Amino acid sequence: MDFYLPVKPKECSYRVQARQVEFSIKKQGPEFWPRLIVAQKKPHWLKIDFDKWQDEDEDEPRQHKEDFGDVGPFDEARGRKMVERQEKQESMNFKLRYIFVYNLFQFVGFTTIFCTLFIRYLYYGERAVTTAFETIGSQLVLTQLLTYLEVIHPLLKITKGGALAPFLQVCGRNLVLILIIATEPRLQGQPVVFWLFLVWSLSEIFRYPYYMLSSLELEWYAVTWCRYTTWTVLYPAGFACEAMVILAAIPMFEETQKWTLALPNVWNLSFTFPAFLRMYLLLLFMPACWFLVQHMYKQRKAKLGPFQRKKRMKKTQ
């Protein structure tokens, strides 16, 4: 481990317990450490001994009873701090477990969708292309509806990051999947729908393992590289397929008048769904695609940029 500041190795000690190994690390200087190691995220196996925790404004460290005898009960404020820390740690552990289970469920779901489409294509060829929605449509609708949770998570501070990028991506995909493809049977047999589903599921297969590892405070470079590199091909392909689906759907919805509200009606309002799709392509879809590409590029630069590569090389040496 890279400690936050230099330590005195000869004055460090450890003790093997039944359930853990306790370490006593002697600092080289009197400076206050806000954390033990340089990295912001601590390893999942590293725990804090709150009985010996010392805040920056405390004059003397606390002593553990079994090591130094009974030093009397903690004062009320200090005990309250300990309880708050423990509750915060328990809450954090619950969030991490929930995020791991959610990402695991989505990973299994999208992996099943991709494998089903790919294997059926190998066996049945063109027939698998025209029956893609019939085969995995309901499962894809379920997994895509669950992605709305990724908009809620940052709003509730369950995960870091903003809600705008996932909101744009989730709403755009569900518009195409639920309001367009699922309601127009003639569109479901189009080859572009098969390729769209294949691209969507493949992009998620690379995305969710990264989030699963992050919830465990782990990082594997291969998984991180795939997460922040494969999008450069899959996102443009997905955008192109979505645009082709919308363009193909416009004349079909002009014929069926599905989702169109015509006058007269109770609300005295009119809404033309094909006109909305045209406006969506011009005013919302293209800017949203550009925003998502810029967002992913910035994230990739932060994760896999020159600084991070040099840092890894130094650690390897």
217 neighbors 44 (Cβ within 8 angstroms): yes
Active site residue 11: no
Active site residue 235: yes
Burial class (CB in 10 A: 0-12, 13-18, 19+), 181: buried
Q: Which long-range CB contacts under 8 A does 144-150 form with residues at least 24 apart?
A: 144/170, 144/173, 144/174, 144/177, 144/178, 145/174, 145/178, 146/102, 146/105, 146/106, 147/106, 147/173, 147/174, 148/174, 149/102
Residue 209, token pair as written in the block: 């393992």
- The position carrying tokens 């590892």 is 213
Q: Which one is catalytic: 242, 254, 255, 297?
A: 242
Q: Which one is catalytic: 4, 98, 235, 280?
A: 235
Positions marked catalytic = 235, 242
